[in-house]
């Protein structure tokens, strides 16, 4: 395993009380694998990514669990060691590319700097490699783009540059947090193709965080579905999306308008996500679940394997009986 | 046909001189009474600009926009057919509701543009409460402020506000794009029910083809200010005519597609010149014929597209 | 189909963020405490001291601080502690009145000018630039001298000088608000501009204005005191801090307590107000903490 998150719990201390953002989250990513973390707002998918990157806000506290990267617990490492791991071996691509780019430095120079630092090549060589890196992310005219400033580029172009930057080290793991959400669908499509290709060619593992089940279906080998700070279902993408076992996953798929009959109402999920400051004792989804019974409200289900590699946190079996 | 809104050769330009940007070019459209008309396209396609021209936030540079055969714009002045007749629901319920107002004040606000007799008649507490219940909120919510609500609830408030004046025509500008999937489904259902109950006509603007397909009777596809295809929603989504519509459809990541599909834009080609088709430089099936822009032509009854070729394929 | 009713997200009872942030800001709390003590003392003045602030008692003139006269007496034997207490009401009241007036007028001018734009806006901003071009004190002095030396005129002068700050602040906020979706929504409803200004713009401009007002109270008191010191403000024997310092100044070398204690009171009050203003700015700034 390249990355292994075990029973990670994170709390935020804020003015409105303590928010339990993550509760016993476990997740693993193998070498060369693309793993999707999918969930709606407040599901904890981004907090999970930020925990791995060590970018949690100051008011966040990790209350339990560990994050093992290549066998070492990142949470136990010193500041310098942590930075060494994160800077060199883990790359990141966020939703807004401008946050990752230096606004007043030419794109090529930014890339060359990173390449120089990580590969120890000469300045000239680094600049040549920078142009090459831009070509790798399918930028049409890399020499020209290398001379431009970030603000001169379109959103899709910028995101390509950020990917090139993230891949420059080159990392073993790429964490992408809603990296395509701000982009147009046709450009998103190109970026997804690019990520898949880079992963296949270089063996880079990718954790792709998204709210879009369609992206998961097309890009990811495995997926973890998160709800209210917990992983409720995880398995191969085909298993989870074709035969979803958790009522939340099922409901989420039904709520999509993609294949719905326009003459029928969509099967919406009633209610809203529970307040994370007052986490229910039982299953977090119980209040919105059509199959919930008394036991669901009393005890919290743990992830259990339904078939090899496919784990579900639900008291009910697939048919609604006891699991 | 009973057309409610008609756009004839509508142009919209922003800025001047070197900064001149044409947002909408030669747009011809008709929206029929009682239908849900979808407007789909990517950022910069001009779809939101058309919505803004209909509710009076932007004036057309040239061309005519009529509502029931009466012009909406006269010498750069917006002439509302009747206050509250055309209303809008914006994408972001976070910023479209004044954070300092109570839900009650927000919902009744449009009434202040009405004559006082009508304002009294439409602003009764009973009417307000029943409208609030209809959109899925409770009476006790009236005294709360927007920040106390979730995104979906805020959008319900915005919908109630748009309905308080009993409009006939609603512009829905990406009304569910900021919402989670499960909440989006609730809001889409609500909008559909309301349309039936109140006999509303919708202009539904979205970049999400799945949402448009589910919500709309007819659809127009826009690319860089041009309307490239107009037709009935369901057949068009099965068998799109224009190559751009096809790319748009195949780019939408589908849960039922196990890998990222191939296809998409062509590598940008040299500009085809001033006369070329607007999609020439990115079109995967461009031909020499495309250096001469195609007319926006009817291919089947009520189904038009701006492409020389049937089904966008050159070999036909 | 029955529509699912969504639950309200936030529970009814919780600490208001304002108090939460206040608790985390000790300097502001200190400022509030000092101000509270000053205000309470001045309100309770008749209970604390048995002297009359204006009663002349030449026999006890220029007495140093003692058990009887805590802060000593002045050149005609009035108890300085008593005069400071009674002066608090006047000085604080004057300060508040000036900035509230300036803030209110500035808000109206700034929002209207910013929302309507065009010629009105340009003319308004030029006038404000003119006022701002002069140093505050000099301009206040000129106004006060032109209007005639008394307290009321000094207040008017200072208020006029303070207005441009509020106009600019309100106008800047208005320009940002005008682009907000809820204002555009109101435009599409056909709401009249004056109503949009009153219902949307002004309520959303108020909090930065209140911060500025709090910060300016101390400054206004100082300006009144300065004008008083220069003989352009409150005239003796009014127990106004500036006027007291102004007269007491002459006796500093022989009777140090006379100007020192009113000066200390002025220092404490304006310092406390500045701390409070800074604190409120931090608290109302959405970017600070969570």
Query: What is the structure's pLDDT at B221?
Result: 96
For residue B98, give how far its alpha carbon lies from the nearest alpha carbon of chain C (Å): 6
A58 interfacial to chain C (CB closer than 8 Å): no
Nearest C-alpha neighbor of A218 from the set C39, C13, B252:
B252
CA separation (Å) from C124 to C118, C130, C171, C183, C205?
10, 10, 10, 23, 18
Interface membership of C286 toward A (CB under 8 Å): no
Answer yes or no: do B255 and B136 share one domain: no
Whether residues B154 and B282 share a domain: the answer is: no
On whether residue B218 sits in a domain, the answer given is no
Please name the member of C7, C14, C289 whose beta carbon is closest to the beta carbon of A271. Answer: C7
The Cα–Cα gap between B2 and C14 comes to: 55
- Count CB-CB contacts under 10 A for residue C269: 24
**Mean pLDDT calculated for residue range A226-230:** 94
Q: What spatial distance separates the first Cα and last Cα of chain A, rounded to whole Å?
A: 29
Q: How far is CA B98 from CA A263, B177, C172, in A?
A: 35, 20, 18
> Is residue C203 predicted with pLDDT exceeding 70?
yes
Q: Does B28 lie in the same domain as B96?
A: yes
Q: Is the pLDDT of residue C88 over 80?
A: yes
Which residue in A has a C-alpha nearest to residue C283's C-alpha?
A15
Helices marked H in C117-201 — which ranges?
118-133, 136-147, 151-178, 181-189, 193-196
Cα distance between residue C80 and residue C64, in whole Å: 10
**Chain B hits for C9, Cβ within 8 Å:** 148-150, 153
How far from each other are the two terminal CA atoms of chain C, in whole angstroms? 40
Check if the beta carbon of residue C247 is closer than 8 Å to that of residue C65: no
User: B218-223 and B226-232 as β-strands: parallel, antiparallel, unpaired?
Assistant: antiparallel
Identify whether residues B146 and B283 lie together within a single domain: no
Residue B195 domain-assigned? Answer: yes
Of C217, C213, C220, C221, give the one whose Cα is nearest residue C241: C221
Give 10-residue mean pLDDT values along chain B (316 residues): 89 86 91 96 91 94 94 89 91 89 95 92 93 94 91 94 95 92 92 96 94 95 94 92 91 82 77 82 85 86 87 50
- Residues contacting C12, CB < 8 A, separation 6+: none
- The per-residue pLDDT for B140 is 92
> Which residues of chain A does B185 touch, with a Cβ-Cβ cutoff of 8 Å?
255-257, 266-269
Once rounded to an integer, what is the mean pLDDT over residues A247-269?
Answer: 90
C174 pLDDT more than 70: yes
Residues of B in contact with C181 (CB under 8 A): 90, 92, 95-96
Question: Nearest residue on chain B to A189, judged by CA atoms?
Answer: B251
- Residues B52 and B145 reside in one and the same domain: yes
Element (H, E) at A88: helix A79-89
* Contacts with C4 from chain B: Cβ below 8 Å: 136, 186
For C221-279, what is each residue's pLDDT tens digit? 888 888 877 878 777 778 888 888 888 888 888 888 888 998 899 889 888 988 888 88
Residue A259 contacts C, CB cutoff 8 Å: no
Q: Are A5 and A226 in contact (CB under 8 A)?
A: no
- Is there a contact between B185 and A269 if contact means CB atoms under 8 Å apart? yes
CB contact (8 A) between residue B150 and residue C191:
no
For residue C255, give both structure tokens.
């009777």
How far apart CA C51 and CA C157 sit, in angstroms, is 33
Interatomic CA distance for residues C10 and B153, integer angstroms: 12
How far apart CA A23 and CA A216 sit, in angstroms, is 23
pLDDT, tens digit, 9 for 90 and up, residues A57-105: 888 999 999 999 988 888 888 888 888 887 778 988 888 888 888 989 9
Average pLDDT over residues A218-243: 95
Round to whole Å and give the CA distance between C102 and C162. 6
Chain B: closest CA distance from residue C14 (Å): 12
CA C232 to chain centre: 20
**Residue C186 token pair:** 């109101």
* Residue length of chain B: 316
Query: What phi and psi, each to the nearest 5 degrees, are found at residue A170?
Result: -90, 145
Q: Average pLDDT, stretch C140-150? A: 87
Rounded to a whole number of angstroms, the distance between the first and last alpha carbons of chain B is 32
Are A244 and A250 contacting, i.e. CB atoms less than 8 angstroms apart? Answer: yes
Cβ burial, residue C45 (10 Å; 0-12/13-18/19+): buried
Alpha-carbon span C286 to A283, nearest angstrom: 34
Query: Which DSSP helix (H) or strand (E) runs through A223?
Result: strand A222-227
B187, B275: one domain: no
Model pLDDT, residue A30: 94
Q: In the 8-state DSSP scheme, what is residue B77?
A: E
pLDDT interval class at A318 (50, 70, 90): low
Number of domains in chain B: 2
Residue of B nearest to C179 (CA): B95
Alpha carbon of C177: minimum distance to chain A alpha carbons (Å):
24
Pick from B216-225, C122-131, C139-148: least confident: C139-148
User: φ and ψ at A144, to 5 degrees?
Assistant: -70, -45
Q: How far does the CA of residue C257 sit from the closest CA of chain A (Å)?
A: 47
Question: Rounded distance, CA C281 to CA C210, Å?
Answer: 9
Question: From the list C9, C17, C21, which residue is nearest A275 (CB)?
Answer: C9
Shared domain check, B45 and B185: yes
A170 cis-preceded (ω within 30 degrees of 0): yes
B: neighbours with 3+ CB pairs under 8 Å? Answer: A, C
Is B41 within 8 Å of chain A by CB? no
- At C192, the pLDDT band (50, 70, 90 cuts) reads very high
Q: What SS3 class is residue A262?
A: coil
Q: CA C281, CA C290: separation in Å to the nearest integer?
A: 15
Cis, bond preceding A150 (omega within 30 deg of 0): no
Q: What's the confidence (pLDDT) of residue B109?
A: 95
The confidence score (pLDDT) of residue C16 equals: 63
Assigned token pair, C164: 């441009």
How close is the nearest chain B Cα to the Cα of C184, in Å?
8
- C288 C-beta neighbours (distance < 10 Å), count: 12
Q: Are residues B250 and B281 in the same domain?
A: yes
CB-count exposure of residue A79 (10 Å: 0-12, 13-18, 19+): exposed
Q: Give the mean pLDDT of C46-71.
A: 84
Please identify which residue in the block is written with the tokens 């970017």: C287
Find the closest chain A residue to B260 by CA distance.
A218
Residues for chain C: how many in total?
290
pLDDT at res. A219: 94
Q: Tell me the C-alpha distance between A209 and A192, whole Å.
A: 13
What residues of chain A lie within 8 A of the CB of C11, using their CB? Answer: 275, 278
What is the rounded CA–CA span in Å between residue C246 and residue C55? Answer: 19
Please give the structure tokens belonging to residue B170. Answer: 């609603």
Q: Give the nearest partner residue to A14 out of C7, C9, C290, using CB atoms.
A: C290
Distance CA C83, CA C73 (A): 10
Which of B141, B147, B155, B182 has the most A C-beta neighbours within 10 Å, making it the best mutation to test the interface with A?
B182
For residue C175, what pLDDT is reported? 95
Structure token pair of residue A77: 């490492």
pLDDT at C286 over 70: no
Closest C-chain CA to B58: C188
Phi, psi torsion values for A7, nearest 5 degrees: 45, 45
CA–CA separation, B52 and B199 (whole Å): 22
Give me the pLDDT at residue C223, please. 86
Q: What is the 3-state secondary structure (H, E, C) of A184-218?
A: CHHHHHHHHHHHHHHHHHHCCEEEEEECCHHHHHH
**What is the pTM for the complete model shown?**
0.85
Question: Looking at beta carbons, which residues of chain A come within 8 Å of B234?
Answer: 262
Helix locations, B179-298, DSSP H: 181-198, 209-215, 233-238, 243-251
Half-sphere exposure of C172 (CA within 13 A, CB side): 8
Chain center to CA of B2: 19
Q: Chain A closest CA to B197's CA: distance in Å? A: 14
Output B203 or A140, whichever has higher pLDDT.
B203
Based on the fold, state whether residues B154 and B121 are members of the same structural domain: yes
The answer to whether the CB atoms of A255 and B185 lie below 8 A apart is: yes
Helix axes A247-255, B181-198, angle to 10 degrees: 40
Strands (E), B137-285: 169-173, 201-206, 218-223, 226-232
Residue B215 falls within a domain, yes or no?
no
When CB atoms are compared, the residue of C4, C186, C203 closest to B186 is C4
Q: Is residue A143 within a helix (H) or strand (E), and if so which, with residue range?
A: helix A142-146
Contact: C4, A271; criterion CB under 8 Å: yes
How far apart are alpha carbons B251 and B236 in whole angstroms?
16
* B296 in the same domain as B154: no
State the residue range of the domain holding B270: 225-312
Interface of A with C in 262-301 (CB under 8 A): 265, 268, 270-272, 275, 278
- Do B253 and A268 count as a contact with CB atoms less than 8 A apart? no
Shared domain for B136 and B242, answered yes or no, is no
The residues with which A230 forms a beta bridge, in sequence order, are A227
Please give the radius of gyration of chain C, using alpha carbons only, rounded to the nearest integer: 24
DSSP C6: P
Identify the CATH homologous superfamily for domain C15-288. MetI-like (1.10.3720.10)
pLDDT at res. C105:
96
Which residues in chain C have Cβ-Cβ distances shorter than 8 Å to B159?
A: none
Of the candidates B180, B182, B257, the beta carbon closest to that of A217 is on B257
Q: Give me the long-range contacts of B245-250 (CB less than 8 A, separation at least 24).
A: B245/B221, B245/B305, B245/B312, B246/B312, B247/A186, B247/B284, B248/A185, B248/A186, B248/B40, B248/B42, B248/B209, B248/B221, B249/B209, B250/A189
Mean pLDDT on C175-186: 94
Cα radius of gyration (chain A): 21
Of the listed ranges A15-19, B101-105, B242-246, C50-54, the least confidently predicted one is: A15-19
C-alpha pair distances (Å), B281 with each of A23, A129, B23, B196: 51, 29, 18, 42
Name, in order, each residue with C-beta under 8 angstroms of A225's C-beta and a sequence gap of 6 or more: A38, A39, A231, A232, A233, A234, A240, A246, A248, A249, A252
Contact of C17 with chain A, judged by CB distance below 8 Å, is answered with yes
Look at residue C283 in the predicted model and tell me its pLDDT: 75
Q: What is the mean pLDDT of chain A?
A: 89
Instruction: Of C29, C158, C61, give the one whose Cα is nearest residue C101.
Output: C158
Q: What whole-number distance in Å separates Cα of residue B13 and Cα of residue A229? A: 47
CA atoms within 13 A on the CB side of B250: 17
């Amino acid at each position: 395993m390249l990355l292994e998150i075990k029973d990670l719990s994170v709390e935020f201390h804020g003015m409105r009380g303590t928010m339990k953002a993550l509760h016993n989250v476990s997740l693993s990513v193998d070498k060369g694998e693309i793993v999707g973390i999918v969930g709606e707002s407040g599901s904890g998918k981004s907090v999970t990514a930020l925990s791995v990157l060590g970018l949690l806000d100051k008011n966040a506290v990790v209350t339990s669990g560990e994050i093992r990267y290549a066998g070492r617990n990142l949470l136990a490492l010193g500041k310098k060691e942590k930075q060494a791991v994160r800077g060199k071996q883990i790359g990141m691509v966020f939703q807004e590319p401008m946050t990752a780019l230096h606004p007043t430095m030419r794109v090529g120079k930014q890339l060359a700097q990173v390449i120089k630092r990580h590969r120890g090549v000469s300045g000239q060589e680094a600049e040549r490699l920078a142009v090459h890196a831009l070509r790798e992310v399918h930028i049409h005219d890399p020499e020209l783009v290398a001379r431009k400033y970030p603000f001169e580029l379109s959103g899709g172009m910028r995101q390509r540059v950020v990917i090139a930057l993230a891949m420059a080290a080159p990392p073993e793991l790429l964490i992408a947090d809603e990296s395509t959400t701000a982009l147009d669908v046709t450009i998103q499509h190109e970026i997804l193709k690019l990520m898949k290709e880079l992963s296949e060619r270089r063996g880079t593992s990718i954790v792709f965080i998204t709210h879009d089940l369609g992206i998961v279906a097309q890009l990811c080998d495995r997926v973890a579905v998160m709800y209210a700070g917990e992983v409720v279902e995880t398995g191969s993408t085909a298993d989870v999306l074709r035969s979803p076992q958790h009522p939340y996953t099922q409901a989420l798929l039904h709520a999509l308008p993609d294949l719905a009959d326009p003459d029928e109402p969509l099967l919406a999920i009633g209610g809203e996500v529970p307040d994370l400051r007052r986490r229910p004792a039982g299953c977090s989804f119980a209040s919105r679940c059509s199959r919930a019974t008394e036991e669901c409200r009393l005890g919290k289900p743990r992830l259990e394997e339904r078939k090899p590699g496919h784990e579900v946190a639900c008291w009910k079996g697939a048919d609604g009986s006891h699991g | 046909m009973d057309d409610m809104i008609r756009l004839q050769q509508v142009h919209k330009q922003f800025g001047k001189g070197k900064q001149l940007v044409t947002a909408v070019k030669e747009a011809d459209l008709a929206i029929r009474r009682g239908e849900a008309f979808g407007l789909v396209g990517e950022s910069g396609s001009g779809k939101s600009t058309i919505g803004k021209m209909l509710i009076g936030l932007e004036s057309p540079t040239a061309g005519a926009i009529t509502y029931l055969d009466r012009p909406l714009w006269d010498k750069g002045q917006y002439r509302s057919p009747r206050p509250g007749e055309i209303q809008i629901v914006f994408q972001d319920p976070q910023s479209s509701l004044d954070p300092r107002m109570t839900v009650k004040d927000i919902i009744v606000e449009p009434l202040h543009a009405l004559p006082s007799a009508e304002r009294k008649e439409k602003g009764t507490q009973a009417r307000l409460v029943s409208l609030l219940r209809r959109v899925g909120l409770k009476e006790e919510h009236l005294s709360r402020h927007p920040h106390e609500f979730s995104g979906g609830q805020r959008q319900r408030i915005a919908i109630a506000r748009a309905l308080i004046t009993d409009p006939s025509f609603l512009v829905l500008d990406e009304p569910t794009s900021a919402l989670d999937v499960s909440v989006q489904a609730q809001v889409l259902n609500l909008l559909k029910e309301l349309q039936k109950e109140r006999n509303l006509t919708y202009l539904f603007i979205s970049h999400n083809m799945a949402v448009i397909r589910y919500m709309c009777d007819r659809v127009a596809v826009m690319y860089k200010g041009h309307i490239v295809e107009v037709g009935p929603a369901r057949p068009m989504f099965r068998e799109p005519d224009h190559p751009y519509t096809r790319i748009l459809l195949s780019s939408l990541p589908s849960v039922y597609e196990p890998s990222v599909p191939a296809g998409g834009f062509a590598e940008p080609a040299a500009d085809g010149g001033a006369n070329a088709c607007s999609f020439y430089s990115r079109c995967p099936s461009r031909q020499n014929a495309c250096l001469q822009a195609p007319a926006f032509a009817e291919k089947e009854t009520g189904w038009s597209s701006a492409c020389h070729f049937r089904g966008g394929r050159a070999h036909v | 189909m029955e529509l699912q009713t969504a639950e309200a997200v936030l529970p009814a009872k919780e600490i208001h963020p304002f108090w939460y942030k206040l608790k985390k800001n000790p300097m502001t709390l200190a400022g509030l405490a000092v101000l509270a003590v000053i205000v309470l003392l001045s309100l309770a003045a008749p209970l604390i001291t048995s002297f009359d602030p204006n009663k002349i008692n030449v026999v006890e003139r220029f007495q140093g601080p003692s058990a009887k006269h805590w802060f000593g007496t002045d050149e005609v034997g009035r108890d300085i502690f008593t005069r400071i207490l009674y002066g608090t009401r006047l000085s604080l009241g004057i300060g508040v009145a000036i900035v509230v007036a300036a803030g209110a007028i500035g808000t109206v001018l700034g929002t209207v000018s910013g929302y309507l734009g065009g010629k009105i806006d340009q003319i308004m901003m030029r006038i404000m630039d003119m006022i701002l071009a002069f140093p505050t004190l000099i301009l206040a002095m000129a106004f006060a001298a032109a209007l005639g030396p008394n307290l009321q005129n000094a207040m008017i002068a200072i208020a006029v000088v303070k207005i441009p700050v509020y106009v600019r602040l309100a106008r800047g906020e208005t320009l940002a608000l005008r682009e907000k979706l809820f204002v555009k929504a109101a435009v599409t409803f056909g709401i009249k501009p004056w109503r949009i200004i009153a219902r949307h713009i002004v309520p959303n401009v108020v909090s930065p204005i209140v911060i500025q007002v709090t910060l300016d109270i101390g400054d206004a008191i100082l300006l009144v005191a300065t004008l008083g010191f220069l003989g352009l403000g409150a005239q003796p024997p009014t127990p106004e801090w500036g006027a007291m310092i102004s007269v007491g100044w002459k006796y500093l070398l022989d009777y140090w307590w006379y100007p020192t204690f009113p000066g200390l009171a002025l220092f404490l009050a304006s310092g406390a107000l500045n701390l409070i203003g800074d604190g409120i700015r931090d608290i109302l700034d959405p970017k600070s903490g969570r």
